Amino acid sequence: NLSNAKALIYFSSVFSLFITADMGTSEAVLIYAVVVLESFFWFSFVALILGLPKPKAFYRKSGRWIDGICGAIFGVFGTALIWTAVKESDL
The tally of domains found in the chain comes to 2
**Mean pLDDT value of segment 36-63:** 92
Host domain of residue 39: 1-51
The neighbour count for residue 39, using CB atoms within 10 Å, is 15
Q: What is the pLDDT of residue 12?
A: 79
Are both 42 and 59 inside the same structural domain?
A: no
Are both 65 and 41 inside the same structural domain?
A: no
Question: CA-to-CA distance for 30 and 46, rounded, in angstroms?
Answer: 24
In this prediction the pTM is 0.59
Are both 47 and 57 inside the same structural domain?
A: no
Q: What is the pLDDT of residue 2?
A: 65
Are both 62 and 91 inside the same structural domain?
A: yes
Question: CA-to-CA distance for 83 and 72, rounded, in angstroms?
Answer: 16
pLDDT category of residue 70 using cuts at 50, 70 and 90 = very high
Q: pLDDT digit string (tens) for 11-39?
A: 778 778 888 888 888 988 998 898 889 88
